[in-house]
Chains A and B, each alone.
Chain A
Amino acid sequence: MHYMVPGDDPVWLSQLRKGSVEHCVLALLRNEERYGFELAKLLVDAGGLIAGEGTIYPLLARLRKNGLVDTTWRESTEGPPRRYYRLTESGQLALTAFIHQWKLFRESIDAILTGELAA
C-alpha cells in the first residue's frame, strides 16, 4: 500500500519545518481552543507544515507531555466527544520566546541573503 509522502523537499526545509511546527501549533492555540482534526487541516493548508494530517497526534502528545498544552473533552454536535487543546502558561511563554527568536533568526538570514552584512 502506498501513501503520499512529501517527495521533493530539500532536507534543510523539512528540518526547518520540523523544528518550527510545534510553535506553529502553539500559535494556532493562542486565542482559542482547537481539536486535532482542525489543527491538522490548518497546518496542512498552511503550505504543508506537517507531512500528513496524522502526524499532528504524536506532536500534540509531546506538547502535552511537556506541559505546553492542556486538553479537555467536549461534546460535539455530531460524533463522539472531542479532545480540545489549549495553551498553558508555559506554552504561552514558549510561544512568546519563539516569536522573538524567530524574528532575530529571520532577520539574520535575510541580512546575509540580501548582502547587507557584506556591504
Chain B
Amino acid sequence: MTEVARNSQIIDDYLQTLTLALAGLPEDRRAEIVEEVSEHIAEARTTLDVENEASLRALLGRIGDPTAIAAEAGAPPLDRGRPSDQAVPWLLLLGGLPLLIFAPLALFWMVGVVWLWRSNRWNLTMKLVGTFVLPGGLLPFAVLLTQPTFASSCVSHGSPDGKVVTHCTTSGFQLNPVVAITVALVALIAPLVTTWLLQRNPQEQ
C-alpha cells in the first residue's frame, strides 16, 4: 500500500468508527456530524507540515475519540455484546426454515427482524439489508428446492388403434433452466452474504 493510500485508509477507518459510534442517532443527524468532522479533518490536513501516519494519528487524536463525540451527541452507547444481537444473524438466516414444517414457526425469523431493528449495533442500511435480503433467510431457497421446478412426467400408453400416445405434464414453475439455476443461486448466496455482513465485528463495518 502506498503512503497516500494508507493515509486515506487511516482517515476512512476513523470516520467509519465514528459513524458506528453514532449508530443510535437518526440517520440525518449522524450524517451531518460525520460530514462536519470529515470537513474538519480535510481542513486540519492542510495545516500539517508533513503528512504521514504519525502526524495523521496525532491530528485524529486532537479531534478526539469517536465515542466522546458520540457521547456529546447523546448517542446511546453501543451494546454489541447483547445476547439478542448475537442471535440476530442466525435467526434471520435459518429462522424461516421451520415454516416448511409448520407455518407459525416462521415466528423465529420475525423475532430476528424485531431484534435486528431494536438493536443499535447495525445502521439503517444494514437493517434494511437484513430484513429484505432475503425475507425468510434461506426459506426461499428451500422452497425452490422442494418445488419440482422443471420436472415433467410423461406417461405413454398404447391406444386401441395400435398407436403409442405420450402425454407429458409439467408441474411446478415453467422456468428456463438457466433462469431457474440463477434464481436458486441468488436465493442461496444472498442470505449467506447478509449473514456474513451482520456477523462482522462492528469495528470492521
The chain A residues found within 8 Å of chain B, CB to CB, are 1, 3-5, 36-37, 40, 44, 51-55, 57-59, 61, 78-80, 82-83
Closest 6 CB pairs of A and B: A52-B64, A58-B73, A4-B61, A3-B65, A54-B63, A55-B72
Q: Contacts A58-B69, A79-B42, A79-B43 hold; do A4 and B62 have CB atoms under 8 A apart?
A: yes
Residues of B with C-beta under 8 A to A80 = 39, 42
Residues of A with C-beta under 8 A to B12 = none
Interface contact A53-B62, CB-CB below 8 Å: yes
B56 CB, nearest partner CB in chain A, Å? 12
Interface contact B44-A51, CB-CB below 8 Å: no
**Closest B residue, CB atoms, query A40:** B40
B79 at interface (Cβ–Cβ under 8 A)?
Answer: no
Interface contact B64-A1, CB-CB below 8 Å: no
Residues of A with C-beta under 8 A to B68 = 3, 5, 51-52, 54-55
B110 CB, nearest partner CB in chain A, Å? 35
Interface contact B17-A1, CB-CB below 8 Å: yes
B66 at interface (Cβ–Cβ under 8 A)?
Answer: yes
CB 8 Å contact bits of B38-50 with A (1 = contact, 0 = none): 0110111010000
Of A36, A53, A83, which is within 8 A of B64 by CB? A53
B118 at interface (Cβ–Cβ under 8 A)?
Answer: no
**Closest A residue, CB atoms, query B59:** A53
Q: CB within 8 Å of A: which of B19-74?
A: 29, 32-33, 36-37, 39-40, 42-44, 46, 60-66, 68-69, 72-74
